[in-house]
């Protein structure tokens, strides 16, 4: 059997262990730069390593090693953690030891792990865009929550728009960052302000002014109000570029999604043809390799739409699945939640789940599991979703249609 290797990945340097039939034959550390990665690959080739195990499924190192003919196995950190006890009695750990554990897993348990299949350029682009947008949305939500909390503490009258981070709300706060600046704001001035900022909402200016004046008045002194006003302006300044970049990324995702060869497979699942974020994620997260999910159950597990069974003696329970692709879970749940309002088959699955006593999140996962069967088949066969070929949909058509 050819030697195997384990790599404990790090942002600055990688610990490498080469094992031959369970015996360590070489250990070394490689810096995470071009010289280090090239040298690491060359040393593994010289050692005739056939298989490498690493604790991540992507990245420059994972992409470079297969170019040398070495098979790379992606092993979840939880699996490495569970395996440490096989090789040591003590509970200590180190990067060198983890590299050895990975090398041994590559030698003895290769059949249990998958080798990442590189995605095509279009899918990589879509994944980069959707993940970057998701991260920025998280930043926006955090900043918006801070802004709302600051306003509620000294000037809740500024919270007159539905979303505190909407363009019109940010423009309002930039112009009226404190109660003193809005003292003379009446219906006419509000209407003029809304017109200058291209307000597209349907709320009457008089109602917005009424909301502002009906809000409770704070008791902060002049110094505190000045400080809080500065904080509000700072948060508004931080939010503006984030909101703008999210809009830019959304537009880029729309273009990348339309250009992707799998777009037509997932587009029919959504009523609005302009919907892109959810179907783009459904393409990007599973990747191009159809063999990644040999069965629909495998896809359901990775999407967090199937429970984890716990059985021991008389105990038999099903628990929430936490180890999964969280982004894929959100996309499938979004699909399930949107279709239950307009799709007769989805509405029936959701209604029956609630009748059985499931709460809303549980019922959404039940419906998501049902949609996984459709997604897996469409993805495997590379055909768009067609209600005419959907057996359960057609079964209830006389009742639902």
User: Exposed, middle or buried, 113 (CB in 10 Å: 0-12/13-18/19+)?
Assistant: middle
**What is the C-alpha separation between 250 and 255, in angstroms, rounded?**
9
329-377 pLDDT tens trace: 999 999 999 999 988 899 999 999 999 999 999 999 999 999 999 999 9
- Residues paired with residue 250 on neighbouring β-strands, in sequence order: none
Helix, strand or coil, per DSSP, at residue 263 = helix
The pairing of strands 23-31 and 13-20 is antiparallel
Query: Can you give the pLDDT at residue 284?
Result: 95
Q: How far is it, in rounded angstroms, from Cα 39 to Cα 28?
A: 11
The predicted-structure confidence for 32-88, as pLDDT tens digits, reads as follows: 999 999 999 999 999 999 999 999 888 888 889 999 999 999 998 888 988 888 887
Q: How many CB atoms lie within 10 A of CB 284?
A: 28
Residue 92 has pLDDT above 90, yes or no: no
What pLDDT does 392 receive?
59
pLDDT band, residue 385 (cuts 50/70/90): confident
Could you tell me which residues come within 8 angstroms of residue 335 by beta carbon, excluding any fewer than 6 positions away?
269, 270, 278, 282, 368, 371
Q: Is the pLDDT of residue 400 over 70?
A: no
pLDDT in tens, 245-285: 999 999 999 999 999 999 999 988 888 878 899 999 999 99
Q: What mean pLDDT is reported for the chain?
A: 91
CA distance 328 to 303: 5
The fraction of the chain above a pLDDT of 70, given in percent, is 96
pLDDT at 398: 47
- Given a cut of 90, whether residue 390 has pLDDT beyond it is no
Q: Determine contact, residues 146/235, Cβ cutoff 8 Å.
A: yes
How far is it, in rounded angstroms, from Cα 281 to Cα 153? 38
pTM: 0.84
Percent of the chain surpassing pLDDT 90: 71
Whether the pLDDT of residue 30 is over 70: the answer is: yes
| Residue ranges of domains in the chain, CATH in brackets | 4-112 (3.30.420.40), 124-257 (1.10.287), 270-400 (no CATH)
Q: Would you say the C-alpha torsion 281, 282, 288, 289 has a positive or negative sign?
A: positive
Residues 54 and 14 sit within 8 Å (Cβ to Cβ): no
pLDDT digits (tens, 9 = 90+) for 147-166: 999 999 999 999 999 999 99
- Give the per-residue pLDDT at 10: 87
Q: What is the tens place of the pLDDT at every residue in 283-311? A: 999 999 888 899 999 999 999 999 988 88
| Mean pLDDT of all residues in 127-151 | 97
């Amino acid at each position: 059997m050819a030697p195997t290797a384990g790599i404990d990945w790090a942002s600055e340097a990688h610990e490498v262990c080469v094992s031959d039939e369970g015996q360590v034959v070489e250990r070394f550390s490689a810096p995470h730069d071009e010289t280090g990665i090239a040298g690491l690959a060359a040393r593994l080739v010289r050692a005739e390593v056939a298989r490498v195990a690493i604790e991540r499924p992507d990245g420059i190192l994972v992409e470079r090693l297969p170019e040398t003919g070495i098979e790379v196995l992606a092993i979840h950190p939880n699996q490495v953690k569970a395996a440490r006890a096989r090789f040591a009695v003590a509970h200590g750990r180190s990067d060198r030891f983890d590299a050895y554990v990975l090398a041994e897993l590559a030698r003895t348990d290769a059949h249990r792990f998958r080798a990442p299949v590189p995605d095509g350029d279009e899918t990589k682009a879509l994944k980069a865009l959707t993940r970057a947008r998701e991260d920025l949305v998280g930043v926006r939500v955090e900043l918006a929550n801070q802004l709302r909390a600051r306003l509620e503490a000294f000037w809740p009258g500024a919270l007159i728009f539905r979303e505190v981070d909407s363009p019109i709300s940010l423009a309002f706060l930039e112009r009226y960052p404190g109660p003193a600046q809005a003292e003379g704001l009446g219906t006419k001035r509000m209407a003029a302000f809304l017109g200058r900022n291209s307000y597209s909402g349907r709320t009457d200016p008089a109602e917005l002014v009424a909301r502002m004046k009906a809000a409770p008045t704070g008791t902060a002194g002049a110094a505190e109000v000045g400080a809080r006003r500065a904080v509000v302006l700072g948060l508004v300044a931080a939010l503006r570029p984030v909101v703008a970049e999210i809009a830019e990324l959304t537009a880029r995702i729309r273009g990348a999604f339309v250009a992707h060869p799998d777009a037509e497979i997932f587009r029919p699942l959504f009523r609005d043809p302009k919907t892109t974020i959810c179907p783009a994620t459904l393409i990007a997260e599973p990747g191009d390799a159809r063999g990644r999910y040999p069965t629909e159950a495998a896809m359901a597990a990775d999407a967090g739409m199937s429970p984890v069974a716990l059985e021991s003696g008389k105990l038999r329970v099903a628990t929430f699945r936490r180890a999964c692709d969280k982004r894929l879970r959100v996309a499938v749940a979004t699909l399930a939640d949107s279709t239950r309002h307009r799709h007769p088959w989805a509405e029936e699955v959701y209604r029956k789940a609630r009748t059985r006593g499931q709460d809303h999140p549980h019922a959404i996962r039940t419906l998501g599991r049902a949609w996984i069967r459709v997604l897996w088949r469409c993805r495997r066969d590379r055909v768009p979703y067609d209600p005419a070929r959907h057996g359960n949909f057609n079964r209830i058509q006389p009742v639902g249609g």
